Every structure is written in C-alpha cells, then in structure tokens.
Amino acid sequence: MNDTIQVLIIEDDPELLMALSGYLKKYGMQTTCAEDPYIGLSLLTQNKFDIIILDLTLPGIDGLDVVTQIREKSDIPIIISSARLDLTDKVIGLERGADDYMPKPYNPRELVSRIKTILRRAAVSKPKEEPKGSFEVDKKGHTIRFKGRPLELTAAEFDVLELLIENKNSALSREQLLYDSKHIDDESSVKNIDVIISRIRNKLSKVDGNRSYIKPVRGIGYMLIDDEV
C-alpha cells in the first residue's frame, strides 16, 4: 500500500463529498470525487484507487448495480455508504461484492477506521507475488518448467539443474554439483557432470535455442544465467 491512500468517493451529495474529502485528508488519504456514477466508473478505469466509498441512491443507476459493474472488472474494496435503511439493500450489496455497509449518518472517524481495517485485511489476504524467472522448480513433483514448458529430466539431471537454479548467476564447481546431487553416486567422476550438463543444455535448447543458459566458468565449473524476472 502506498503512503497516501487513494479513495474514490461516488456520492451525489456535494456537501457530504466536501466534508468527507476534508476529513479523510487529515488522515493521509487522497480523495477523488464523482457525483455521477458513470463518471465514477470511468475514473476507476483511468486511475488506481485503494478503496471506493459508494452511495446507493445515485442518478441514472442504482448503487447496487454499480457494485456489480465494479466487481465485473475489479476486486477493489468497496464500502457502501447509504441512507437507505432497508436490510435487503445491505444483504444484496454484500452479496454482490461490497466489503462493508455503513448506514448514514455516521461518524467520519468510524469511516477512517473501517477503511484502514479493510485495507489491512486486504493486504494480508493478497498473495505475495514472487519474482519468476525462466525456470520454475516443483520440488514435491520433482519437475522443472522452463519458459512454462515441463522438461523431461532424469533424476540426476533434475538435481544438477535444481542446484544451478537455486544458485543462479553464481558459479558452482563440478565437485559441488557432484556431491550435492542426491542421485549421483559420490564415486562418480566429475567428468559425469559435464555429460549431464550437456544433456540439460540440449533439452533447454529445444525450448529456447536463441541463447545458452548454462555457461562454463573457467577453472571452476558452471553457472546458470537467468536475467528474466
């Protein structure tokens, strides 16, 4: 989350818009306001917001339908802010994807608290995106995907390539590759590593023959180079 929370308020009461904007600004929140729901929907496609404060009684389209349209395109948190006291509106709003429902009138301090709570919960539940390179290792499945395609590897090839991936852009000696591999006999010659590397290179070239991903490092061994993230 950015330091400044970006809030889109879709509300047709200009006085309330002004009051909420001024209050939220005191708590480090930047507001963008739209009295017309269609303008609000357009703003959502043009800018990045952290949360939406949405009135239900709007000109041209009901706020509940606005929730539906937002959810068709985005998972941005939505707080419904409405003077409509019908429990059905609250139920439908939440069922359509709103995260909270605040009946008017309410203390703006409570709105601040709910905004922060919802964004904190969203940050915790959002899966972390880890940088991915050209290689994806599935240790449990004992498979490696290269540029999205599974490689057909022997157990020894898997061990060697996994070690190179784990230490990508760093040189590993033949001895390290030999002794850290689970499926290569410790009595094997380090020359066997050269054979295994050759077979791995051949399989990689069938997927991407434009470059060599495993480079020899003179006097040391081999290095896997993968600059993609």
pLDDT in tens, 159-172: 999 999 999 999 99
Predicted pLDDT of residue 180: 86
Closest by Cα among 119, 179, 166, 121 to 139: 166
Position 109 pLDDT exceeds 80: yes
In angstroms, the first-to-last Cα distance of the chain is 22
**Average pLDDT, whole number, for the chain?**
90
**Percent over 90 (pLDDT), the chain:** 72
User: How sure is the predictor about 132, in pLDDT bands with cuts at 50, 70 and 90?
Assistant: low
CATH level 3 topology of 135-224:
Arc Repressor Mutant, subunit A (1.10.10)
- CATH architecture entry for 5-125: 3-Layer(aba) Sandwich (3.40)
How large is the average pLDDT for residues 161-187? Answer: 88
Would you say 114 and 79 are in contact if contact means Cβ atoms under 8 Å apart?
Answer: yes
pLDDT digits (tens, 9 = 90+) for 36-62: 999 999 999 889 999 999 999 999 999
Predicted pLDDT of residue 229: 47
Predicted pLDDT of residue 93: 95
DSSP for 5-55, written as a single string: EEEEEE-S-HHHHHHHHHHHHHTTEEEEEESSHHHHHHHHHHS--SEEEE-
Predicted pLDDT of residue 121: 85
Position 19 pLDDT exceeds 90: yes
pLDDT digits (tens, 9 = 90+) for 62-96: 999 999 999 998 999 999 999 988 899 999 999 99
Give domain limits for the chain: 5-125, 135-224
Beta strands 78-82; 143-146: pairing state: unpaired
Structure tokens at 52: 């939406």
Q: CA–CA separation, 222 vs 50, rounded Å?
A: 46
Predicted pLDDT of residue 131: 47
Predicted pLDDT of residue 125: 62
